[in-house]
């Protein structure tokens, strides 16, 4: 039987269907499933689980004296004899493989012979309380022969050290075309990294069971990988390790590969002592020891026509990957996948180099490289606008993918160019862009110290894991004899509202009310071999898998009812816990379930989904890596102080495409939250390492994410009136987790615009993040006549 509603149908374009959708559970603005528990403090995070008797606390120890060097000796006697210490762990205690990497085998749980970044774990203390463990860690005597660290892209370029091979997309002879052109632009700029700053730090609690079994509560987006890594380190079968996570206190990519090490430490502690062990990082250590968004050095050149239309583009996207590969392959690939953003490059050469440095291994972060590639594309638009004197929006419009004719630098067709154009032109009107452009110019003409800037930028973001096999999901749905439903799937809840959206899908498909659907923790014992909740894919994948499971059960129930009661199966409908034969109420859902149970019909099913249509041949750089693109646009206005570089965002307008929304309130939450997080990345969030490779911004006192007052009071967010995702996604919705993070590129471009007003024709030497210092630098340079 087909899933109810719109899963497999064509896009719902007619009014009637839209009206139907509004009545559906699955498109309502219901609250986050835990909203009430959040506000009352009843929502339980891992550190809130009542601690089992005999719980011990594991804390990682590290060498504070160098970012790179050979370990000569390690004297842990004082650590061992410190108050409260039960055990001290190091590499030799690992029965299996000393690695917690996602794939490449290059992230040791404990450093053995050499230290490769400042903050790398060398040993761990197991103690009766957490502060005792932390205090004991300070007593280690480690001798290291330090060597000169390689700390940033520039140094790594000179040294020529990469973690992964270079990669490129090539279409035409872009390099030659740019060289031959009489109208071209060349520029370079820095894009900073970003700390996730999830409010709940990394944490795991491991409970030992029989036969070496382990039950691990881990705050992770990727329970299956944590399970794999714990099993690998402890030399256990994966079947002996269960990983559970009910909810995370934020993740943003930082609990994908980065959760394994702390889970492994807790598990190892439990293995060695036979007692339950918890490992929770202190905030500063969390920020020092876990990876961040990649920072990039980009070099851009392009040739273009007098109307701003591009001919050829050459981009070099050089990133700092840190000390190991981690997820850098996919991240840098995605930077390349989005280096066109929304624009047609007739010829292009996109090159990527992935540099190895003696800094913490950079990792997934909302957007997964996409934001950096996209920012490079938008920088190019601004560069052309400066050069041609055109309004930056006109340059953007001139280059926008057209209708269904667009083809990306990696050969994938862009089929929704009309949607992209409609979003931009709608926002252009609703934000009064053109009038405000004049107002900004008038303001700037009369304001010597303060300057305004305005920018409208689009977002086009590819949806699917570019690692093909991850595009699958499983679900497990049980219907109990009282008609209640227990829901489980491979997706994890980190605040995005995935559990609520998927529960809405289950309620819709089974025809029960939402309160009958019991959401449960993600657990590797229920759904195995899951993909991470990442790449914005949570609802797309798990929603479909759950719909599949629900429909298998419902199919059985309806067949049973049809057989028993002699009605045509097509005439049976379940809605709001009531079974109808035609228009007539036949029985409650509960009664049907009871009858089915007595008749020995299975009331439980797994579900499965594999994304169709996608294929990507990385070696030849051809294929369709994405099922579809998500679109949006934003318009930002800023005010800068040319004496100090201080900046305030004054107004933001957003229009974003979520297809047919599964839950408009939750989607809006993702859009607003993503915007502010991306705005932080591009403005106040600055990661600073010193010359010794020590992170100096390792606490909220020094690393500044936006506060409430950084968000403009005038913040207008709308969902695009979509005709539905043309692809057959769950109810024709579109993924929304990551794309909004890139909307605030308009803030960066507006700052650029404000500085540019000081000397039209020059591209400001602005780097990201555009801190007050970065803005003032660009102001001083442009006043001296020096552009980027």
Partner 1 sequence: MRSAISFLRSGKVVSLELTNPTQTLLDYIRLSEKKTGTKEGCREGDCGACTVALGRLRDGELVYEPVNSCILLLGQIDGCELVTVEDLVSEGVMHPVQQALADHHGSQCGFCTPGFVMNLFTLYHQSKEGLSHSDITHWLSGNLCRCTGYRPIVDAALEACAGAANDVFSARAAETMRMLASINDGADVLSGSEDSFFASPASASSLAELYAKHTDATLVAGATDVGLWLTKQMRVLPKIISLNRVADLQKLAETTTGLHIGAGVTYAQAQESLAAFDPDIGEVISRIGSKQIRASGTIGGNIANGSPIGDSPPVLIALDATLKLRKGDVSRELPLEDFFIDYGKQDRGNAEFVEEIFVPRLDANQVFRAYKISKRFDQDISAVMAAFRFTLVENRITEARIAFGGMAATPKRAAGAETALIGVSLDDPSTWTTAQNAIKQDYSPITDMRASSAYRRDIAQALLTKALVEAAGTSTSKTRVVGQRPEGVTHAA
The residues in 233-252 that bind partner 1, with binding defined as CB under 8 A, are: 247-252
The answer to the question of residue 172 lying near partner 1 (CB under 8 A) is no
DSSP secondary structure of 413-425: EE--HHHHHHHHH
Q: Cβ(241)–Cβ(85) under 8 Å?
A: no
Smallest separation, CB 35 to partner 1 (Å): 4
Q: H or E element: which one contains 681?
A: helix 664-682
Nearest to 416 by CA among 43, 191, 723: 723
The answer to the question of residue 45 lying near partner 1 (CB under 8 A) is yes
The answer to the question of residue 441 lying near partner 1 (CB under 8 A) is no
* Member of 162, 258, 496, 746 binding partner 1 (CB under 8 A): 496
DSSP secondary structure of 577-594: TEEEETTEEEEEHHHHHH
- Our CB check for partner 1 shows the closer of 439 and 710 to be 710
The answer to the question of residue 705 lying near partner 1 (CB under 8 A) is yes
* Member of 32, 293, 728, 732 binding partner 1 (CB under 8 A): 32
Smallest separation, CB 672 to partner 1 (Å): 4
Residues of this chain, 266-285, that bind partner 1 according to CB under 8 A: 282-284
Work out the end-to-end distance of the chain between its first and last CA atoms, rounded to an integer number of angstroms.
60
Nearest to 335 by CA among 295, 302, 304, 291: 295
* Member of 18, 146, 702, 726 binding partner 1 (CB under 8 A): 702
Residues of this chain, 197-216, that bind partner 1 according to CB under 8 A: 197-201
CA separation for the pair 712, 117 (Å, rounded): 38
The answer to the question of residue 53 lying near partner 1 (CB under 8 A) is no
Smallest separation, CB 137 to partner 1 (Å): 9
The answer to the question of residue 64 lying near partner 1 (CB under 8 A) is no
Stretch that binds partner 1, among 304-312, 411-419, 618-626, 765-773 (CB under 8 A): 765-773
* Member of 41, 165, 389, 566 binding partner 1 (CB under 8 A): 41
* Member of 567, 715, 718, 759 binding partner 1 (CB under 8 A): 715
Known catalytic residue: 51?
Answer: no
Give residues with Cβ within 8 angstroms of 321, minimum separation 6. 162, 163, 164, 294, 328, 332, 354, 355, 356, 357, 361, 362
Stretch that binds partner 1, among 41-49, 98-106, 230-238, 722-730 (CB under 8 A): 41-49
* Member of 307, 430, 447, 602 binding partner 1 (CB under 8 A): 447
Q: Cβ(254)–Cβ(177) under 8 Å?
A: no
- Our CB check for partner 1 shows the closer of 303 and 504 to be 504
Neighbours of 448 (CB within 10 A): 9
Smallest separation, CB 143 to partner 1 (Å): 23
CA separation for the pair 279, 256 (Å, rounded): 17
Smallest separation, CB 51 to partner 1 (Å): 9
The answer to the question of residue 515 lying near partner 1 (CB under 8 A) is no
* Member of 2, 8, 23, 50 binding partner 1 (CB under 8 A): 50
The answer to the question of residue 81 lying near partner 1 (CB under 8 A) is no
The answer to the question of residue 737 lying near partner 1 (CB under 8 A) is no
Residues of this chain, 647-686, that bind partner 1 according to CB under 8 A: 647-648, 665-666, 668-669, 672-677, 684, 686
The answer to the question of residue 771 lying near partner 1 (CB under 8 A) is yes
Q: Cβ(663)–Cβ(498) under 8 Å?
A: no
- Our CB check for partner 1 shows the closer of 35 and 159 to be 35
**Which among 200, 225, 685, 738 is annotated as catalytic?**
738
The answer to the question of residue 709 lying near partner 1 (CB under 8 A) is yes
- Our CB check for partner 1 shows the closer of 430 and 707 to be 707
3-state secondary structure 38-103: HHHCCCCCHHHCCCCCCCEEEEEEECCCCCCEEEEEEECHHHHCCCCEEEEECHHHCCCCCCCCCC
Smallest separation, CB 411 to partner 1 (Å): 36
Looking at 111-220, list the stretches that DSSP marks H as alpha helix, in order from N- to C-terminal side.
130-137, 153-159, 174-180
Residues of this chain, 100-119, that bind partner 1 according to CB under 8 A: none
Stretch that binds partner 1, among 63-71, 130-138, 170-178, 756-764 (CB under 8 A): 130-138
CA separation for the pair 257, 259 (Å, rounded): 6
Residue 613 gets the label, from left (phi > 0), alpha (psi -120 to 50) or beta, of: left
Neighbours of 360 (CB within 10 A): 26
Cis amide linkage into residue 375, ω under 30° from 0: no
Residues of this chain, 622-651, that bind partner 1 according to CB under 8 A: 639-641, 643-648
162 in helix, strand or coil? strand
Nearest to 483 by CA among 555, 549, 557: 557
CA separation for the pair 169, 711 (Å, rounded): 38
At residue 237's C-alpha, the angle toward residues 235 and 240, to 5°, is 110
- Our CB check for partner 1 shows the closer of 36 and 404 to be 36
Smallest separation, CB 679 to partner 1 (Å): 9
CA separation for the pair 153, 295 (Å, rounded): 8
Stretch that binds partner 1, among 71-79, 262-270, 422-430, 773-781 (CB under 8 A): 773-781
Smallest separation, CB 315 to partner 1 (Å): 29
Stretch that binds partner 1, among 35-43, 210-218, 417-425, 511-519 (CB under 8 A): 35-43
Tokens of 691: 């010359």
The answer to the question of residue 752 lying near partner 1 (CB under 8 A) is no
Smallest separation, CB 609 to partner 1 (Å): 25
Task: Please count the CA atoms within 13 angstroms of the CA of 675 that sit on its side-chain side.
Answer: 31
Number of residues that bind partner 1 (CB under 8 A): 89
Smallest separation, CB 251 to partner 1 (Å): 8
- Our CB check for partner 1 shows the closer of 164 and 699 to be 699
The answer to the question of residue 497 lying near partner 1 (CB under 8 A) is yes
Tokens of 585: 């109420």
Neighbours of 759 (CB within 10 A): 17
The answer to the question of residue 723 lying near partner 1 (CB under 8 A) is no
The answer to the question of residue 598 lying near partner 1 (CB under 8 A) is no
- Our CB check for partner 1 shows the closer of 32 and 68 to be 32
The answer to the question of residue 620 lying near partner 1 (CB under 8 A) is no
- Our CB check for partner 1 shows the closer of 251 and 552 to be 251
The answer to the question of residue 439 lying near partner 1 (CB under 8 A) is no
The answer to the question of residue 559 lying near partner 1 (CB under 8 A) is no
- Our CB check for partner 1 shows the closer of 193 and 406 to be 193
Q: H or E element: which one contains 290?
A: none
The answer to the question of residue 229 lying near partner 1 (CB under 8 A) is no
CA separation for the pair 613, 373 (Å, rounded): 25
The answer to the question of residue 55 lying near partner 1 (CB under 8 A) is no
Neighbours of 702 (CB within 10 A): 14
**Can you point out the beta strands (E) in 224-338?**
241-245, 277-280, 296-304, 310-322
* Member of 17, 24, 44, 309 binding partner 1 (CB under 8 A): 44
The answer to the question of residue 743 lying near partner 1 (CB under 8 A) is no
Tokens of 557: 């129930």
- Our CB check for partner 1 shows the closer of 354 and 777 to be 777
Q: Hey, CA dihedral for 42, 43, 48, 51, is it positive or negative?
A: positive
Stretch that binds partner 1, among 415-423, 542-550, 606-614, 767-775 (CB under 8 A): 767-775
Per-residue exposure over 554-592, b if at least 16 CB sit within 10 Å of its own CB, e if not: bebbbebbbeeeebeeeebebeebbbebeeeebbebbeb
Would you name the residues annotated as active-site residues? Answer: 738
């Amino acid at each position: 039987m087909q899933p109810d509603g719109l899963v497999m149908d064509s896009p719902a374009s007619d009014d009637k269907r839209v009206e139907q959708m509004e009545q559906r559970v699955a498109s309502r603005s219901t609250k986050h499933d835990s909203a009430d528990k959040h506000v009352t403090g009843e929502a339980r995070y891992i550190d809130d689980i009542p601690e089992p008797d005999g719980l011990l606390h594991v804390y990682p120890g590290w060498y504070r004296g160098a970012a790179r060097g050979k370990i000569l000796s390690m004297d842990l006697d004082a650590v061992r004899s410190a108050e409260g210490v039960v055990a001290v762990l190091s590499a030799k205690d690992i029965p299996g493989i000393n690695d917690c990497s996602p794939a490449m085998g290059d992230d040791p749980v404990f450093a053995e012979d050499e230290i490769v970044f400042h903050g790398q774990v060398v040993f761990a203390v197991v103690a009766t309380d957490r502060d005792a463990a932390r205090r004991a860690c300070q007593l280690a005597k480690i001798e290291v022969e330090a060597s000169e660290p390689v700390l940033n892209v520039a140094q790594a370029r000179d040294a020529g050290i990469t973690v992964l091979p270079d990669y490129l997309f090539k279409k035409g002879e872009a390099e030659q075309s740019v060289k031959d052109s009489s109208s071209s632009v060349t520029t370079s700029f820095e894009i900073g990294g970003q700390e996730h700053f999830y409010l709940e730090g990394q944490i795991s609690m491991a409970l030992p069971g029989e036969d070496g079994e382990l039950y691990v509560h881990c705050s992770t987006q990727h329970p299956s990988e944590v399970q794999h890594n714990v099993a690998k380190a402890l030399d256990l079968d994966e079947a002996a390790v269960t990983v559970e996570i009910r909810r995370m206190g934020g993740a943003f990519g930082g609990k994908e590969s980065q959760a394994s090490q702390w889970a492994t430490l807790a598990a190892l502690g439990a293995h060695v002592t036979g007692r339950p062990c918890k490992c929770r990082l202190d905030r500063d250590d969390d920020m020092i020891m876990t990876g961040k968004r990649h920072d990039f050095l980009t070099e851009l050149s392009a040739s273009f026509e007098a109307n701003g239309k591009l001919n050829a583009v050459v981009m070099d996207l050089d990133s700092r990957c840190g000390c190991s590969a981690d997820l850098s392959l996919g991240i840098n690939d995605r930077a390349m996948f989005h280096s066109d953003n929304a624009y047609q490059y007739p010829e292009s050469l996109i090159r990527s180099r992935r540099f190895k440095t003696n800094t913490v291994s950079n990792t997934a972060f909302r957007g997964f490289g996409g934001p950096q590639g996209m920012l490079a594309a938008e920088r190019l638009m601004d560069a052309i606008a400066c050069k041609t004197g055109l309004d930056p929006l006109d340059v953007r419009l001139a280059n926008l993918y057209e209708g269904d004719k667009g083809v990306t630098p990696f050969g994938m067709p862009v089929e929704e160019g009309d949607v992209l154009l409609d979003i931009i032109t709608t926002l252009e009107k609703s934000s009064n862009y053109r009038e405000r452009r004049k107002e900004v110019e008038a303001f700037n003409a009369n304001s010597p110290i303060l300057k305004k800037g305005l920018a409208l930028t689009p977002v086009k973001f590819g949806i699917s894991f570019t690692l093909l096999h991850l595009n699958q999901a499983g679900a497990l749905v049980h219907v109990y004899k009282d008609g209640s439903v227990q829901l489980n799937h491979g997706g994890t809840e980190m605040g995005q509202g995935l559990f609520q959206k998927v529960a809405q899908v289950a309620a819709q498909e089974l025809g029960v009310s939402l309160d009958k659907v019991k959401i449960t923790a993600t657990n590797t014992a229920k759904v195995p071999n899951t993909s991470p909740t990442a790449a914005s894919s949570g609802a797309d994948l798990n929603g479909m898998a759950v719909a599949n499971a629900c429909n298998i059960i419902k199919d059985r129930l309806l067949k049973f009812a049809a057989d028993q009661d002699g009605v045509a199966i097509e005439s049976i409908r379940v809605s709001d816990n009531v079974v109808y034969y035609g228009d007539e109420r036949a029985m409650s859902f509960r009664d049907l379930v009871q009858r089915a149970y007595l008749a020995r019909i299975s009331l439980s099913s797994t579900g499965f989904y594999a994304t169709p249509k996608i294929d990507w041949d990385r070696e030849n750089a051809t294929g369709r890596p994405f099922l579809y693109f998500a679109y949006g646009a934003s318009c930002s206005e800023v005010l800068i102080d040319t004496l100090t570089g201080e900046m305030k965002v004054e107004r933001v307008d957003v229009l974003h495409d979520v297809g047919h929304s599964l839950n408009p309130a939750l989607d809006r939450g993702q859009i607003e939250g993503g915007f502010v997080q991306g705005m932080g990345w591009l403005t106040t969030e600055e990661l600073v390492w010193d010359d010794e490779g020590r992170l100096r911004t390792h606490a909220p006192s020094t690393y500044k994410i936006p506060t409430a007052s950084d968000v403009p009071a005038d913040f207008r967010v709308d969902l695009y009136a979509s005709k539905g995702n043309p692809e057959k996604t769950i109810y024709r919705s579109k993924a929304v987790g990551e794309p909004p993070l890139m909307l605030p590129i308009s803030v960066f471009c507006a700052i650029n615009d404000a500085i540019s007003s000081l000397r039209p024709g020059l591209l400001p030497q602005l780097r990201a993040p555009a801190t007050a210092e970065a803005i003032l630098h660009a102001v001083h340079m442009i006043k001296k006549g020096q552009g980027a």
